[in-house]
Structure 1
């Protein structure tokens, strides 16, 4: 187990999970490179840090959608600050609510640009530094929405997070030979700022969806302020797992970290649903192999 202070690179640090994670990591004695699309948006983060830990915080302007080469250049410069990066937290993301057909592929591409390709570009830029670390860890903030996709209006977001989950699981295997631990965090609904800040897509209204769209817009507008999840507790758990402390002490590396009673319920519900259908159709699933005949290649 690695001893001493770690260096964390955290995207999307100006608010939400990222903001809280920076504060908590600094409180454990580690160092943080906090990034956001605008340095101005990080001023509140800096002022919120206790004076005795501010020397362990550096800020870097980083938009996860600005392209592979630009991101690689900024990450390489960030690594020079303390000579290494030990932990990468891909936290930056957004949600673009809307009816799938009305948004079409253009809305899906917008959603994937941030939530999927942004994660990939930052990860690719940081992996050379993680391979050089004695305690490397890649953390990716996913969502329970990859498990609970059956919500009207959440299609683009849920699709992007499902893709992120699949990517993370593959990375877990590909990075294992380098002793890079991978953690997929799957939070439910938490009371963070701006999580429902994006407007519902209405630029291409299809009359057939008028009632559905209106109901979905109203639902999304009613959610903020009703979330049961405490984001500080959630990020405290993430720090515990990465450092092997607190609730994670003495436990094996989880790989998956489902946070929130709603997220737990959604994962169990989806697994039960799929297994039920599989059991009902198991004869069909098993009945499509070649018969016991010699098959010529």
Structure 2
């Protein structure tokens, strides 16, 4: 994997794929099936992998955490940037930091939390985590105003942030006072749209963000890369055409659960056997899986 520190060029060179984490039938992490997922994404042209929500890093045991880090760091291609998540609880992330010291990941992402926190408290936690790891952190802003623009900018100005994943859901993505406040204080080259392919155009065109993360792009990586290139090239009509191709699967994820739908879609698309989904999440019922399979076929027919 790529172990060089992140730069703004690194951030923008690829969509950030957020893949599922495959398990065997007994629930253990499966190296072979995870390698299939990674190869599929890499072969589609994506060179950044972010292991967070879709991989359900929230619920890994500390032993599983080490195993997951071993798999994703050893299987990824030499030029692939791999970013694991930590947290979201402070004690969890600090224990995980001890494990991370045995690996060469250039950065990690703190999973978002909105309970039992404060803006300055998050900033303090990120500072202590960065100090312990000796490297900057990816900040994940998922909830409106959970961290003030001033506190986020302070972390950036002190060199403690490698990138910011911005993922606050809006009814109208063109109107976002929180994102506007952040972009006034922080270089937009450090901020990615963190909600998949759907709001990527607005976030990059209207707010100047540097790139975007993708879930559905883990199933259709070339389509996601083509979308990034269209946006970067200012070909907005082509970008919109590509964005719409994702809708059959994206709409299922939005309405029925982004993590569980992607987990099963990865298997139904024939990419890898992803195995059972981790509690505290649940398996989509049979009728939903039929809808997932139909959505995959619809997208395949359009590309």
Normalized against structure 2, the TM-score is what?
Answer: 0.32
Q: Which has the higher contact order (CA 8 A, sep 6+)?
A: 2
Normalized against structure 1, the TM-score is what?
Answer: 0.33
